[in-house]
Amino acid sequence: LKGTDTEAVLSFRQDHDALLKEIGAINQGAANLFRLNPETQAFDRFATTFRKPDGSMPPPMSIGILHPAYDNLINNRPHLGEVPVMGRMRLAYLTPIQAASGAIAGALAVDVGWVDDLVVAKTELRWQIIVAAGLILVLVAAFGAAGMGAEMKPLRVLARYADDLAAGVPGGAVPYTTRDDEIGALAQGLKRVVALQDKLAHLAYTDSLTGLSNRGRYLSDLDTALRESLSGKRKWALIHLDLDKFRKINDAYGQTAGDSLLKEVASRIKETAGDGARIARLAADHFTILIAEGGSTDQASALAGNLLNALHQPIELRVGEFHVTGSAGIVLLQHDARDADEAHRNAGLALRKAKATGDRAVIFSSELHDESENNIRIERMLRLAVQEREIEIHFQPQIDPATNQLAGVEALARWTHPAEGPISPGLFIPIAESSGQIVDLGTLILDLACEQAAKWREKNFDFKHISVNVSPIQLWQSNFVAVVKDALNRHGLSGNEICIEITEGVFVDQSERRIEKVLSAIRELGVLLSLDDFGSGYSSLGYLNRLPFDQLKVDRSFVSDIDTDVRKQKVLRGILELGRGLGFSIVIEGAETGEEVAVIRQMGCDAIQGFYYSRPAPALLIPEVVKKIARSLPSSEARTA
């Protein structure tokens, strides 16, 4: 400031007030001018954009010796940091104003926002800080112009730096920070603004566990990627990746182990996806990856495949070694997303599809969208159908290949919708499971099966037993055993007229104790137990030996083309020997041709269930079908008894 009369220059003036208003409006905070009071040595405010709610001037305030900025200001240094305002902390930038003599004459304060808001700040934050910093420099340049003519160049350079910073293209390190004068102090201040901005951005955009981006950053990255994809600048793909059964690990081994696992997974994803990828973690084990080489389905699925493979390596944690798999959903942004919301949703849809089987990647297609709408429709229709008891069961005979006599029948759910026609159980059972309807549906089917068993018995048709499929979800209902008992009682059946089929998948992730308890309780009712789809899952031989199963149903995959595939024959023979050795009765599923049946018959098993003998059919037809099969035994193979 030129002249010595600080009082005259640093006092209320229209042009100061106008300038402050402008600053305050741009940075959505407040701007204040202070004059150093030579008597009290405090900085007294003489102009401010703060107004009371009624529009009048706020009470006077001073920056005294206890104020966090005082020390810096009185020593001719700018202050950047938290200052108390009305009981809360605000982030402010204060810079000293010097007289031409070099003495401190006053201060300019620009505050940027509430500190507690800033921690959760979004994009505006960056602008607020930078705009404030830029304005300070311009303002200081204007104030100092008269007194510091010779210093104008570095000031302009700094002002330009702040300007570039505001435009998102900072030009390297802040210049002049090593100078030992007010320019140096100003540059230091700017440097701290930059550092603070980085720190806040880091806080606001980073997932603290893995160091990956968080949801906020993901959304803004997705926006950018989408814009680039739609404009044709670059072709991005979005991958959503999720670990299969992560919750189980977390529950069983605790959160610390879960966290370590996630960290390792994050670092594998980072390594595999490469430098150009934008990786975020949205929730527990839900990762997102944006890759710029996502132009074609091949490229995107190759990367997703690599990501899933990277998870296959065992993960060593303090509590032990883990084997995890993941599922991935992929969206090609330029094809299958009009906006970020849609991209996100479609990736989620593809991920859900992938998770149905696990350990695979699925690329979004519009059919998937239709499929999900269709599933919702089916779910609603099914609810009605169960209420109205529109579900039926058909029966498929199990035939002893040595005698062609009936060994049992399996009940299979059938649903014919009045308008849509037949809907396959392969479609509606999983929907019933995921929507929770399987409990009511399963109870209905069990009741229908028991009803039919009673009818057949009354008609002296010796069906042996009816096998009923039970979903794991039903099995874990606390009243399941009571439901079975009720059904038997209601129709006056003895337990061994019903066999419950449980798929092998049940045993993955369940404690053996629990399974054993439920199965034993069922077995105590006299009900038979069959292990369905044997060989398709992961049941350990230990389980087989300890759990009270009566029957193994060998999965269809071991049977198709058995007549021409010698290796398959060896495998099946092994399974049969094992099963027999453990004392199970063995049913082989899915034999479709006479050749397949001939090979199986040679190996020997208790029953074959397959299209070769009969497709599933309504109860009414079963006695006739069974009679026909018994008569069809080729004489060359007939037992001579």
Q: Which residues bind ligand C2E (CB under 6 A)?
A: 396, 412-413, 424-426, 429, 442, 445, 469-471, 532-533, 590-592, 609-611, 616
Distance in angstroms (rounded) separating the CA atoms of residues 355 and 344: 16
Least distance (Å) between residue 399 CB and ligand C2E = 11
The listed partner (ligand C2E, Ca ion, none) that binds 105, CB under 5 to 8 Å by sort, is none
Q: Output 104 or 499, the one with its CB closest to ligand C2E.
A: 499
Q: Output 538 or 611, the one with its CB closest to ligand C2E.
A: 611
Structure token pair of residue 458: 């009354």
182 binds Ca ion (CB under 5 A): no
The helix (H) or strand (E) run that includes residue 56 is none
The listed partner (ligand C2E, Ca ion, none) that binds 110, CB under 5 to 8 Å by sort, is none
CA 207 vs. chain centroid, Å, equals: 15
Least distance (Å) between residue 307 CB and ligand C2E = 31
Distance in angstroms (rounded) separating the CA atoms of residues 437 and 306: 37
The listed partner (Ca ion, ligand C2E, none) that binds 96, CB under 5 to 8 Å by sort, is none
Least distance (Å) between residue 533 CB and ligand C2E = 6
Least distance (Å) between residue 469 CB and ligand C2E = 4
Name residue 328's beta-bridge partners.
241, 361
Structure token pair of residue 288: 């997102």
The listed partner (ligand C2E, Ca ion, none) that binds 429, CB under 5 to 8 Å by sort, is ligand C2E
Least distance (Å) between residue 264 CB and ligand C2E = 36
Q: Output 1 or 522, the one with its CB closest to Ca ion.
A: 522
| Strand ranges (E), 37-193 | 43-48, 62-63, 79-85, 88-98, 104-114
Q: Output 258 or 590, the one with its CB closest to ligand C2E.
A: 590
Least distance (Å) between residue 505 CB and ligand C2E = 10
Q: Output 22 or 440, the one with its CB closest to ligand C2E.
A: 440
Q: Output 497 or 533, the one with its CB closest to Ca ion.
A: 533
Contacts with Ca ion in 499-528 (CB under 5 A)? 501
The listed partner (Ca ion, ligand C2E, none) that binds 622, CB under 5 to 8 Å by sort, is none
- Sign of the Cα pseudo-torsion (273, 288, 125, 85, in order): negative
Distance in angstroms (rounded) separating the CA atoms of residues 82 and 200: 13
Please state the three-class secondary structure of 381-444 as a single string.
HHHHHHHCCCEEEEEEEEEECCCCEEEEEEEEEEEEECCCEEECHHHHHHHHHHHCCHHHHHHH
The listed partner (Ca ion, ligand C2E, none) that binds 111, CB under 5 to 8 Å by sort, is none
154-158: long-range pairs with CB below 8 Å, 24+? 154/179, 154/183, 155/183, 155/186, 158/183, 158/186, 158/187, 158/190
Phi/psi at 390 (5° precision)? -85, 0
Asked whether 101 and 5 are in contact (CB, 8 A), the reply is no
| Strand ranges (E), 157-283 | 237-243, 278-283
From candidates 242, 285, 497, 533, binder to Ca ion by CB under 5 A: 533
Least distance (Å) between residue 618 CB and ligand C2E = 13
The interface region with Ca ion, picked from 143-151, 218-226, 466-474, 576-584 by CB under 5 A, is 466-474
Q: Output 382 or 445, the one with its CB closest to ligand C2E.
A: 445
Distance in angstroms (rounded) separating the CA atoms of residues 29 and 82: 13
Return residues touching Ca ion (CB under 5 A).
469, 501, 532-533
